[in-house]
Amino acid sequence: MLWNQCQFAGRLGRDPEMSYTPNGKAVLRFSIAVDQGKDQPAMWLNVTVWEALAERLSQTLYKGAPVFVQGRLVQRSYTDKNGINRVSTDVIATTAQLLEKPKTNTTSANYEAEPHPFSSSLKEPSDYPF
């Protein structure tokens, strides 16, 4: 049995682009650069993610983020802006994961740490009991 399965680890080349089909299905598109080894140029791949996975990833992925992608390869033909016929190899992802902790948007405006229980009573070093 022949099987079209691939997996790559790389970094996003641009922020992901989220859109929806006319039927309301979520589609997330982004590109990744995959390291090919010493003295070799990066291999660039276009990645498409669908539905619930697309919606989850759209909240955490960003330009430069390390990501693991697993799915199947598809080839598509297109004509570039100069009228030249080209072929693109894309990944339709069935699994994708951010390879680092997600960035948080925590700011002082929406997050205040709990004060230490002794912070108000011990203001000066001379107040310390030792």
The number of domains in the chain is 1
What is the pTM for the complete model shown? 0.73
117 domain residue, yes or no: no
Instruction: Please tell me what DSSP assigns to residue 114.
Output: P
The domain containing residue 88 runs over which residues?
A: 6-102
Classify 54 as helix, strand or coil. Answer: helix
112 domain residue, yes or no: no
Query: Quick one: average pLDDT of 68-73?
Result: 96
Residue 120 pLDDT greater than 60, yes or no: no
19 domain residue, yes or no: yes
126 domain residue, yes or no: no
Mean of pLDDT over the chain:
83
Cα–Cα nearest to 89, from 21, 17, 31: 31
Question: How far is 23 from 25, CA to CA, in rounded Å?
Answer: 6
- The CATH number of whichever domain residue 36 belongs to comes to 2.40.50.140
Residue 116 pLDDT greater than 50, yes or no: no
Pairing state between β 85-98 and 26-34: unpaired
Instruction: Please tell me what DSSP assigns to residue 100.
Output: S
Residue 77 pLDDT greater than 50, yes or no: yes
- What is the per-residue DSSP string for 34-60? E---TT-PPEEEEEEEEHHHHHHHHTT
Query: Quick one: average pLDDT of 1-8?
Result: 89
113 domain residue, yes or no: no
109 domain residue, yes or no: no
107 domain residue, yes or no: no
54 domain residue, yes or no: yes
